[in-house]
């Protein structure tokens, strides 16, 4: 499979993209490949090259591309209408299904993207507490809002809790409203929560931060402190919701937040995200419940649109089947073990970090339990390995292997062989 070739048609389209798109891409992956189609656990580029797909659209395609149940549901709905702005039956049924699945969820409000969901979750917390600051964790990703893009990927480190903006165009004042804590350091995080208790509207955290599992007791410590200080605890489960367990990371790790955000899987490949949480928190979206002063208006043209809702419903129905998560975890474990073996066999100093549905390799011998540990790894070698895998028929992003229910035995064998050959090719880097 080595040596993927680009057709004249794909090269021409890449050239056109460079003319009409900033950086030649959609702002996600580099624009050096154009994907034509996907089916189950594989994708094909415009040149006809076939890849085992571990990008999965950045995670939404958890049951695979073109699943017949999802496709049939979407085709039936499109014929009836694609969006109405008003309530629709499908969106109501999906909301009920999500609220039943998620321990923290009394009620739900739809949006169209994860960035919107986390932005509104933070706004709800501030409205509820009547305080402006939000605590987040260094390296934690919560979308593209000004508040979220603080100390996401700092190239220089400041003392906690100083926030560092990650992007041009963010007002300086925003950084003053964000308190930064180190992930997996319960003592420091709880100390900062206590110190800023009178100023915090809420605490937002990815229970599994990017690729970092929480240390034993870390999430429990945040939960206990948030309860004692009466500060809303928000889990960003855009990635982990319905991926680690049907009840999300909160079920998998056994810690229930006050609110969580969901996206990716719940839309079945279509734009859909949600904020879910306790009824008293979600009441801020209801003017009659909280009054004019505490009301939080939220309007979205495509929020809860019926096409995304039926795709989400069909996806969750598949995930409810017996042994679904056992299958995904077994696939992930085999790939993690194979990746570790390839690194070991070819003499690379590396660590495979994550959980079976979501993991990656870091070229380092140091501890990788927080952002600074990730930052210290050899990023250039990781990029080279990713490109070597692509040349061998394995498609992944700059970080993360997303595992799907659709990845089969052939996909696993192709990937294991690619791991070994790509690791061998890196010996001189």
**DSSP secondary structure of 79-95:** TT-S--SS--HHHHHHH
**Whether 102 contacts 241, CB under 8 Å:** yes
**Whether 213 contacts 354, CB under 8 Å:** yes
**DSSP secondary structure of 282-295:** HGGG-HHHH-GGG-
Gap between the Cα atoms of 60 and 264, Å rounded: 4
Looking at beta carbons, which pairs linking 36-45 to residues 24 or more positions away fall under 8 Å? Answer: 37/65, 38/65, 38/66, 39/64, 39/65, 39/66, 40/64, 40/65, 40/66, 40/67, 40/406, 40/407, 40/408, 41/65, 41/404, 41/406, 41/407, 41/408, 41/411, 42/411, 43/395, 45/4, 45/10
Residues near 168 by beta carbon (within 8 Å), at least 6 away in sequence: none
Gap between the Cα atoms of 421 and 408, Å rounded: 20
Distance of CA 30 to the CA centre of its chain: 19
Note if 146 is an active site residue. Answer: no
Note if 141 is an active site residue. Answer: yes
Q: List, in sequence order, every beta strand (DSSP E) within 252-348.
A: 259-262, 273-277
Note if 287 is an active site residue. Answer: no
Distance of CA 367 to the CA centre of its chain: 23
- Catalytic residue among 51, 54, 110, 141, which? 141
- Catalytic residue among 264, 381, 396, 400, which? 264
Backbone angles phi, psi at 157, to 5 degrees: -110, 135
Q: Are strands 233-237 and 200-205 parallel, antiparallel or unpaired?
A: parallel
Q: Which residue has the tokens 């041009």?
A: 168
Burial class (CB in 10 A: 0-12, 13-18, 19+), 330: middle
Gap between the Cα atoms of 307 and 285, Å rounded: 24
Please give the structure tokens belonging to residue 269: 């490949």
- Catalytic residue among 45, 185, 236, 360, which? 236
Residues marked active site are found at 141, 236, 264
């Amino acid at each position: 499979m080595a040596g993927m070739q680009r057709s004249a048609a794909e090269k021409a389209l890449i050239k056109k993209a460079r003319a009409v798109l900033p950086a030649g891409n959609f702002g996600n992956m580099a624009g050096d490949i154009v994907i034509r189609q996907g089916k189950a656990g594989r994708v094909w580029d415009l040149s006809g090259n076939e890849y085992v797909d571990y990008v999965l659209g950045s995670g939404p395609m958890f049951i695979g591309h073109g699943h017949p149940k999802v496709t049939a549901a979407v085709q039936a709905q499109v014929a009836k209408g694609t969006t109405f702005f008003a309530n629709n039956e499908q969106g109501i049924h999906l909301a009920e299904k999500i609220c039943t699945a998620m321990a923290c969820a009394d009620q739900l409000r739809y949006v169209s993207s994860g960035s919107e969901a986390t932005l509104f979750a933070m706004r709800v917390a501030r409205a509820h507490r009547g305080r402006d600051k939000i605590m987040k964790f260094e390296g934690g990703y919560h979308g593209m809002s000004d508040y979220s893009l603080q100390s996401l990927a700092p190239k220089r480190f400041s003392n906690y809790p100083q926030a560092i903006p990650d992007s041009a165009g963010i007002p300086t004042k925003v950084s003053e409203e964000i308190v930064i804590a180190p992930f997996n350091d319960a003592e420091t995080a709880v100390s900062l929560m206590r110190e800023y208790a009178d100023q915090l509207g809420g605490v937002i955290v990815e229970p599994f931060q990017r690729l970092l599992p929480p240390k034993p007791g870390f999430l429990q410590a945040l939960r206990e402190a948030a309860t004692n200080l009466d500060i809303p605890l928000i889990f960003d489960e855009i990635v982990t919701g319905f991926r680690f367990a049907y009840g999300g990371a909160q079920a998998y790790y056994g810690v229930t937040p006050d609110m969580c955000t969901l996206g990716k899987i719940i839309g079945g490949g279509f734009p859909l995200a949600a904020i879910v949480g306790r009824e008293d928190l979600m009441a801020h979206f209801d003017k009659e419940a909280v009054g004019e002063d505490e009301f939080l208006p939220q309007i979205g043209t495509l929020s809860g649109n019926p096409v995304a809702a039926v795709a989400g419903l069909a996806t969750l129905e598949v995930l409810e089947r017996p042994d679904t998560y056992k299958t995904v975890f077994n696939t992930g474990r085999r790939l993690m073990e194979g990746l570790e073996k390839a690194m070991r066999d070819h003499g690379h100093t590396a660590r495979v970090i994550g959980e079976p549905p979501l993991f990656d390799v870091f070229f380092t011998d140091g501890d990788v339990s927080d952002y600074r540990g990730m930052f210290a790894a050899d990023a250039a070698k990781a990029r080279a390995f990713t490109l070597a895998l692509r040349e061998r028929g394995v498609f992944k992003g700059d970080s993360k292997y997303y595992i799907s229910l659709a990845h089969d035995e052939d996909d696993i064998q192709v990937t294991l062989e690619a791991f070994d050959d790509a690791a061998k090719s890196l010996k001189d880097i």
